[in-house]
Amino acid sequence: MASNQNTLAAATVTTAGTRVQLNGGTSKLVRSLRITGDSGNGSGYIYVGDKNVSSSRYIARLAVDDFYTFDAPVVDIARVWIDASSNGLKAQVSYAS
């Protein structure tokens, strides 16, 4: 990712099966968005997708320290959602604007 990398607060899925919108639903346009499975997640998974993300519908399934990067001319962070296989799992979120 570019050197102008910024980090958001970790996104936490409090209850598995309950989707969480990144950036609290606040629109933010960026060039690159990276989502990483938190190192404290143990054997759980973070599912990355749109507002319909689930354990059976996702674009990426992240284990500990796995990551997925959206690279596009423009990515709106608020259009990305996560879910998890267990309660309390986290994703680290960083971006380049």
pLDDT tens sequence for the chain (97 residues): 445 889 999 999 999 999 999 999 999 999 999 999 999 998 999 999 999 999 999 999 999 999 999 988 999 999 999 999 999 999 999 999 8
- Hey, where are the domains in the chain? 5-96
Please give the structure tokens belonging to residue 39.
């190192």
CA–CA separation, 70 and 79 (whole Å):
12
The class of domain 5-96 in CATH terms is: mainly beta
Number of Cβ atoms within 10 Å of the Cβ of 12: 14
Residue 61, SS3 per DSSP: strand
Task: Give percent helix, percent strand, percent coil of the chain, each to the nearest 5.
Answer: 5, 50, 45
Predicted TM-score of the model (pTM) = 0.92
CA–CA separation, 26 and 84 (whole Å):
21
